[in-house]
Structure 1
Amino acid sequence: MAENEEHELVRAIDWKQGLAIALGVPLLVLPSIGYFAGYLWAFAIMVWALSVIQGFFQNFAYGELAVMFPKASGLPGFAQNVFAGKGGKFDRGKLIGGFSAWGYWFAWNPVMAIMAILIGTYLHQMLPDIGISQYVLSIIAGIVMYGALLLINSRGLSSGALVGMILAILSLAPLVIISAAPFATGDFQLANITGSWLPTDWTWDLHHILILLGIFAMAEWSACAWETAAVYGPEYNKPNSDLPKAVFVCGFVCLIIFVLVQTAVTGTLGIERLLEVPFSPLLPVSQAAFGQVGSYIAIFVLIFAMVLITQTAFLGSSRAMHSMAKEGNLPPILGKVNSAGTPINAMILTALFNLVLIGLQNPAAVLAASAIGYSVANGISLFSYVKAKTDPELSQLERPFKAPAGWKYVALIFGILNIPLFLIGLIYLNSLEVGWTSTYIGIGVLAAYIPIWYYTQHKSYKEAEAASTMSA
């Protein structure tokens, strides 16, 4: 393979295949059903709906950025292109763009570890007498999942899309059926929602507003994540048409499923019962609708669902890392692709990093920490859209897809919502829920990018100097 091709992804999928991979996103509702209800009761349904709608507002901007930079890998690529450096050893614009991509990588990456931990938890509940600890089951689940997905996706993104479609059918359809069943069987009671809309001690003071901002930030991590369909911009056959289709169809699917699942669980179980099973509320819902057998079906459905979202996270985070390396913000070795156009080195490192994360055995803290990265990535990406609309040079770029007029002001508002408001809410909520652990993890991982970036820039500058001296 020629040197200039070693970092290029291959255009090999259409919008339906991109959608199939991104369809893991609706399953991100699973870890937060009981968590949100614990703070907001039935109002959690409204949070999901508003958060998906927020995703539509943000993705109009991302859709336009995607066609402006058809070779960019979604959010990680947009900010890096807009804030591209003008030259020099340590360019501030390049640092900002790369930092946004790093935040996005950290937002998606821990999903893999979280899902492996949850699979280990469910398997341990199913097989309590097997004599294997929950941690070991999580490690085994991680090794099997990551190894299989690495093997499949090393053959190219189209193979991953096929797996995504199969897993989507095996998990999304039963998830919808389980959630819809209580409406048909009569187990769903509207009074469980209308009678428990908000906690009885809820007041709109600063304390509760900060909690709500933190919850919305956590919800964004799940309900707005369907922008991941834009990550595969360089791999769509027709990015100008394929990408917007994949993104917005996935958004409509998310709107239906996030609202349906939270509504069904809350209306069927009621708040008190829901809070007794915050991490596995679909089990009693399925048992109520289908009996004891239904609970076992739900477990297997959830495992399929977790494999699907692991696939989505695996591809999204590895391509974020590939994008950073391609733009010179990470070591070049992470930007190389194999003969099928897959960033194999980035995928291997991502898998190994998550095997280490499984050892933390604290998915709540890891999730909250990664949400900090997601808010940073969205905030900077939205600000990059504002810059792309106002910069004289960038504003002249071709835009086959355009957001409505004046959308730069909408992007600015949501950018400020992410930075600093969501960040403040997250830090406050984390301090109440898990102490300062998740905040330290989030800030620590984000801060780790700075020395890595400076090392990469210094090494690249020295190599360029050496090459210039040899050619002189």
Structure 2
Amino acid sequence: MEKKLKLWDAVMIVMGSMIGSGIFIVSSDMMRNLGSGYWMIVVWLITAVLTVAGALSYGELSAMFPKAGGQYTYITEIFGKKMGFLYGWGMFTVIQTGTIAAVAVAFGKFTAYLVPALNDAAPIFQSGEFKITWIQILAIVVILFLTFVNTKGVQFGKILQNVFTSSKIIALLGLIILGFVLISQSNWSSNMSFGWDAFQNLKQTEWKSISGATVLGGIAAAMVGAVFSSVAWENVTFISGEIENPKKNVVKAMILGTSAVMILYLLVNFVYLNALDRDSIAFAANDRVAVSAAEKMFGNAGTIIIAVLVMISTFGCVNGIVLAGARVFQTMAKDGLFLKSAVENNQNGVPEKSLWMQGIWASLLCLSGQYGNLLDMVSFVIVLFYMLTVFGVIYLRIKKPELERGYKTFLYPFTPILYLTIGTAFCILLLIYKPDYTLLGLGLILLGLPVYFFIDKMKD
């Protein structure tokens, strides 16, 4: 593959893939579960440590296997084709395509602020609870448009990614600065006054003090949103084959990108805590806490400002995920674990058929209306695969110490062990407190096993 992406482009892919709609929404659920600005910041700090530790650990593998396919390639090289296929299966069925669908629909929902007719229009089709709306159609148009753009070559996708990621970073910085300048009455002290005391109010009734195991459950529930808002940074590894000097630039992009995004996330939450009181954060209309904060800053114009910001953010996020994800399915096809037609590059040097397969399935997930639930279910599985990959760093150090490592994990073995410790605690707490989501997500991935054995048998 041609090396058309520089370090800056790789950083923009990391940041653009991470920043979608989550940072504008998930803090409401976090406040409902823990009831304290102090705990809300603690959860974001834990997530930041988890995310950056993961990026530092992945860096060693990206330097060892600097080719397209990223995490799929790492898992396959370390643990074999069966485990690599399970990851790729999860990527195609839900993780990558479901994220594309969810973020595209978020684009449609915030567009409806500017074009109310989208909200007011009758469904195009409805049968019982199933319905197809104009917002879903707009989401599909965005997915197909960005898929088409990316078939024209990585240069086009790169330009879009750089423009939209730079725009949303500038907009977020503006929101952060104005969040302190334009607020006349700060709520910071009251939100942070609870210290280590935690509370829950999940149904807008009354705040109840919680302690012990219930606090741990609240942390796990709060972390679901924070973690999901902070994933997708590994997308840059999928496109390693097209990055200049991938042995160095991929790890630099992951570390710089994840660190910058987590700092932005923390600062945005400082704005929420400064602009809004506890109830206003926890019970913002439709969880759109960013809209409530913007209304405090700009009045009625705040809704429009945030709508435009989220549209920019989600559009760039979808582009980054579309750009990177298709390379995984192409690499799987080369290994005989995906449709053969996904192997070929078009005249522009990109895997066009793989891009369209990804785009069409993501569009169908938009129509299903189940993408949001599916993403909740696989949050557990996403972290499991992250943990498996991070464990691969330790495994290779023990089993194959002679392998060349262009980059070695900073503070090894502390960094990967820290990631595995936090990740394990997160997964155990989810199994205890959210078994419906976690077990269904795990079951969905395990469905890939009979598919793998069928494909393997067909090759014999």
Normalising by structure 1, we get a TM-score of 0.84
Shift of residue 417 of structure 1? 4.3
Tell me how far apart the structure 1 counterparts of residues 433 and 317 of structure 2 sit (CA, whole Å): 25
The root-mean-square deviation of aligned C-alpha atoms, in Å, is 2.5
Does residue 399 (structure 1) correspond to residue 405 (structure 2)? The answer is: yes
Matched letter for residue 238 of structure 2? V
Query: Equivalent residue for 2:84?
Result: 97
**1:27-59 Cα distance to aligned partner (Å, 9 max, x none):** 342341212222123222221222122222122
- Which of 126-135 and 379-388 deviates more? 126-135
Give 1:329 shift: 3.0
2:315 is aligned to 307
What is the rounded CA distance, in whole Å, between the counterparts of 2:334 and 2:66 in structure 1?
15
Counterparts of 1:252-331 in structure 2 under 5 Å? Answer: 252-277=259-284, 278-331=286-339
Matching residue of 2:121 = 132
Say whether 1:68 aligns with 2:64. yes
| 2-structure distance, mates of 1:307, 1:180 | 23
Q: 1:253 and 1:417, CA in 2 relative to 1: closer, same or farther beyond 3 A?
A: closer
What does residue 53 of structure 1 align with? 49
Contact 2:86 2:446 in 1 (8 A): no
Q: Is the 8 A contact 1:102 1:321 kept in 2?
A: no
Deviations 1:303-355 (A, max 9, x none): 11111111122234323322322333333333333233322222212222222
State the alpha-carbon separation in 2 of the partners of residues 55 and 330 from structure 1. 30
Q: Secondary structure at the match of 1:226?
A: coil
Which residue identity lines up with residue 400 of structure 1 in the other structure? G
Match of 1:375 in 2: 383
**1:18 alignment counterpart:** 10
The residue matched to 1:249 in structure 2 has which SS? Answer: helix
| C-alpha displacement of 1:204 | 4.1
Cα pair 2:52 2:259 within 8 Å, conserved = no
Are the aligned partners of 2:50 and 2:422 in contact in 1 as well (CA < 8 Å)? no
Conserved? CA contact 1:13–1:235, under 8 Å: yes
CA-CA distance at 1:196 after TM superposition: 4.8
Residue 230 (structure 1) aligned with residue 237 (structure 2): yes
C-alpha distance in 1, partners of 2:421/2:347? 42
Q: After superposing the two structures, state which structure 1 stretch, 147-156 or 422-431, moved more.
A: 422-431
- Give the drift of 1:124: 3.7
Structure 1 pair 76–215 and aligned structure 2 pair: CA distance change class (3 A) = farther
Q: Any idea what the Cα deviations from partners look like across 1:151-197, whole Å, max 9, x if unmatched?
A: 11112223212101111133221122123212112344322421355
Structure 1 position 426, deviation (Å)? 3.0
Secondary structure of residue in 1 paired with 2:11: helix
Change (3 A) 1:57 1:440: closer
Aligned to 1:451: 450
Question: What is the Cα deviation at residue 125 of structure 1?
Answer: 4.4
Please say if residues 79 and 97 of structure 1, whose CA atoms lie closer than 8 Å, have aligned partners that are also in contact: yes
Could you tell me which residue of structure 1 aligns to residue 189 of structure 2?
191
Deviation at 1:214, TM superposition (A): 4.2
Q: Quick check: 1:319–1:343 contact (8 Å CA) kept in 2?
A: yes
The percent identity for this pair of structures is 17
Pick from 112, 131, 135: which aligns with 2:100?
112
CA contact (8 A) 1:54 1:224 kept: no
Task: Give the direction of change, closer, same or farther, for the CA distance of 1:194–1:210 in structure 2 (3 Å limit).
Answer: closer
User: Hey, what's the Cα distance between the residues in 2 that align with 1:366 and 1:31?
Assistant: 18
Tell me, which stretches of 5 or more residues in structure 2 are unaligned?
124-131, 200-206
Q: C-alpha distance in 2, partners of 1:285/1:424?
A: 34
Q: Look up the SS of the partner of 2:165 in the other structure.
A: helix
8 Å Cα contact 1:67/1:399 also seen in 2: yes
Q: Do residues 164 (structure 1) and 161 (structure 2) align?
A: yes
Where does structure 1 lack aligned partners over 5 or more consecutive residues? 1-8, 84-92, 462-472
Change (3 A) 1:284 1:110: same
